Amino acid sequence: MPLRVVIGVGGGIAAYKAAHLVRYFTEKGHHVNVIPTPSALKFVGAATFEALSGHPVSTDVFDSVDEVQHVRLGQEADLIVIAPATADLMARLAGGRADDLLTSSCLVATCPIVLAPAMHTEMWENPATTANVATLRKRGIVVLEPSHGRLTGKDTGPGRLPEPDHIGTLALAVARCGASAFDHSLEGRKVVITAGGTVEPLDPVRFLSNASSGRQGFALADVAAQRGAQVTIIQARTEPLPTPSGATIVPAMSALELKAAVDEHAQDADVVIMAAAVADYRPVNAAASKMKKGANDTDLSTLELTENPDILAALVKQREAGAIDAETVIVGFAAETGDDKSTPLEHGIRKLAKKGCDLLMCNAVGDGRVFGQEDNAGWLLTAGESADKPVITEVHTGPKLDIAVQMWNAVETLMNER
């Protein structure tokens, strides 16, 4: 269903990215009104926003007074997204000011409000900004974590505006799931998430892999990052995906590399989620140079394979042995097609018992479902008293970010029980 989206634009150099954000929403069929602050118009002209949104643009509460515009746009909005949100704009919002059309619109709005801050690292980390952000979050306003990277001058660090499509995707998740999707409930927690399909080399140009896109793993990382966690993504082969704000990326292509990375990073983690599709087998020998067809010493018609370690099951054993913290929550996935004897859910229940993890997301795959798709569905299985009789929660088809929100809610329930 099309939403009425108000895009607020603060006066920062990243204001030019707001033009792309307007495009993102209009191309998805939503109705967009842009409200820049007066200083935002020093960076991007009103004509740009008018052309892209198809609506007149004003900054002043005294424009269109006959339509009571200073309250109408905010009252009618389904979603307000402010990008970039400057330190000054957040201070004015935290102070409850209504000194321009954008702040007065926010004051009357009852819809979700999502702010995407952008500023120099010193401004972001200044205690005044920290206090304003905390105030806004306490009031249910979603303040996204800024990206880390190149800022306006020569400086780099936290404070960069995430890419517009990424902001749009996160803001729509808030519109669907509510502001609690990105509350700061994982502040101070360390989470490790594996994502993508492993790559098992045959020679320098060929490999065995699978259809995993890494989207579900990255969606889990996005939600954890926006909930304030310190996120490490152990990334196998994925589609190009935006890095969740502040996340550390550890590349690990093969199952053996992935295991080494998990073993290292799980040590002090509160949660480990094995979303990667790990190859069960790898070629016994990866040739150092390209294998040639018809060469005497290579037979390319058969492949000798050897089994990879089961990283998830090993992690559970390490926890049992006390090598990692007993309170670490361990989460697995099961992508199942079902067969003559068992449904995907029955396979998932057996896999939960076999792996011994605390929570398992079971997806029915095949026929183009799940892999590389925007949406996911399935069942969340919580081990409970006995692993072969888990608590089963059906997860209805929805965007992978929404599935990630539900999974984190379940993980946090387990964390709070420990």
Binding site for ligand CTP (CB under 6 A): 255, 274, 276, 278, 280, 308, 310-312, 332-335, 351, 355
Annotated active-site residue 416? The verdict is no
Q: Which amino acid, one-letter code, is at 397?
A: T
Catalytic residue selected from 210, 296, 308, 409: 210
113 annotated to bind ligand? no
290 annotated to bind ligand? yes
Report the alpha-carbon angle 207-213-219, nearest 5. Answer: 145
144 annotated to bind ligand? no
**Least distance CB 332 / ligand CTP (angstroms):** 4
Q: Which amino acid, one-letter code, is at 169?
A: T
Token pair of 293 as six digits: 């067809």
d(C-alpha 359, C-alpha 146), whole Å: 30
**Least distance CB 393 / ligand CTP (angstroms):** 18
Q: Measured from the CB atom, is 132 or 216 closer to ligand CTP?
A: 216
259 annotated to bind ligand? no
351 annotated to bind ligand? yes
Q: Measured from the CB atom, is 87 or 357 closer to ligand CTP?
A: 357
**Least distance CB 271 / ligand CTP (angstroms):** 13
Q: Measured from the CB atom, is 109 or 255 closer to ligand CTP?
A: 255
Strands (E), 247-387: 248-251, 271-274, 281-283, 305-307, 329-336, 359-364, 375-382
Dihedral sign for Cα atoms in the order 142, 333, 255, 310: positive
355 annotated to bind ligand? yes
For the chain, the C-alpha Rg in angstroms (whole number) is 24
Q: Say which residue the tokens 């697995």 belong to.
A: 332
Q: Measured from the CB atom, is 178 or 338 closer to ligand CTP?
A: 338
The set of residues, in sequence order, having a beta carbon less than 8 Å from that of 173 and lying 6+ positions away, is 181, 182, 399, 401, 402, 405
Query: Which secondary structure element, helix H or strand E, spans residue 192, and what is its range?
Result: strand 190-195
**Least distance CB 284 / ligand CTP (angstroms):** 16
Q: Measured from the CB atom, is 172 or 266 closer to ligand CTP?
A: 266
**Least distance CB 200 / ligand CTP (angstroms):** 11
Torsion of CA 250, 253, 255, 259, to 10 degrees: -20
Q: Which amino acid, one-letter code, is at 92?
A: R
> Residues within the annotated binding site for CTP?
280, 290, 309-312, 333, 351, 355
> Residues within the annotated binding site?
280, 290, 309-312, 333, 351, 355
> Which sequence positions are flagged as catalytic?
210
